[in-house]
Copies of this chain bind each other. A is one copy, B any other.
Amino acid sequence: MNEVLNSNFDAVYPRIENAINNAAFIAIDAEMSGIHTERDLKNSLFDTLNDRYTAWKRNIQQFVIVQFGITTFYRVPSKNAYKADSFTFYLFPRSIPLKNRQLSWEVEAMDFLYKHGFDFNKFLVGGISYIDEIDEKLMLDHITQGDIEDCLSLLSYDEEENFKECKSKVCEWISNKSENAPLKLETITPMVQYVLHKDLRNNYNDIWTTSDCKSVYVMKISGNAQDDLSKKNNLEDVLLDFYLGFSKVFKLLSSSKKMIIGHNILLDLMFMHQQFYKPLPDSYKEFKSNIHTLFPQIYDTKFLSFELRKLYSKDEVNWKINSLNILYEYFTTQGRIITYNSPEIIFNEEFSHKKNYHSAGWDSYFCGYIFVKMAHIFCVKKFGTGLEERIASHTELMSSVKDFINSINITRGNEIYMKLDGEDPVLSRPEWLHVKLKSPSLDIKQLMMKFSSYGSMDVMPFARRRVLVAVSNHNTASEILRQFKSSKELQVTRYNRIKHATSMTILLWSGAVLSGGILAWMLKNISKTYINQCIS
Contact = CB atoms under 8 A, between A and B. Distances in A.
Interface of A: 34, 36-39, 62, 92-95, 99-108, 110-111, 114, 119-121, 123-125, 153, 155-158, 160, 525-526, 528-530, 532-533
Contacts of A528: 155-157, 160
22 contacts: A39-B99, A94-B107, A95-B108, A95-B111, A100-B106, A100-B529, A101-B107, A101-B108, A102-B105, A102-B106, A103-B110, A104-B104, A104-B105, A108-B156, A120-B121, A153-B526, A155-B528, A156-B530, A157-B532, A157-B533, A158-B530, A158-B532
A295 B504 CA distance: 54
Given A124-B120, A156-B528, A157-B528, A103 B100 contact: no
A34 B102 contact: yes
Those 6 A-B pairs whose CB atoms lie nearest each other, nearest first? A39-B100, A157-B530, A120-B120, A101-B107, A103-B105, A104-B104
B103 A107 contact: yes
A22 B525 CA distance: 46
Nearest to A150: B525
Contacts of A108: 95, 100-101, 156
A321 to B, nearest CB: 12
A168 to B, nearest CB: 19
Contacts of A124: 110-111, 114, 120
Nearest to A123: B120
A527 B328 CA distance: 53
A280 B532 CA distance: 34
Nearest to A110: B124
Residue among A108, A124, A160 facing the most chain B CB atoms (10 A cut-off):
A124
B95 A102 contact: no
Contact of A103 (B92, B101, B104, B533): B104
A102 B100 CA distance: 19
Given A153-B526, A525-B153, A107 B102 contact: yes
A93 B107 contact: yes
A104 B102 contact: yes
A536 B104 CA distance: 23
A80 B100 CA distance: 48
Contacts of A525: 153
A36 to B, nearest CB: 6
A525 to B, nearest CB: 6
A181 to B, nearest CB: 31
Nearest to A125: B114
A529 B119 contact: no
A122 to B, nearest CB: 9
A160 B106 CA distance: 20
A121 B114 CA distance: 8
Contacts of A123: 120
Nearest to A112: B158
Contact of A107 (B37, B95, B111): B95
A67 to B, nearest CB: 15
A365 to B, nearest CB: 25
Contacts of A100: 36, 38-39, 106-108, 529
Given A95-B108, A114-B125, 19 more contacts: A38-B100, A62-B104, A92-B107, A93-B107, A94-B107, A101-B107, A102-B105, A102-B107, A103-B105, A103-B106, A103-B107, A103-B110, A104-B104, A104-B105, A108-B156, A119-B121, A120-B124, A156-B530, A157-B533
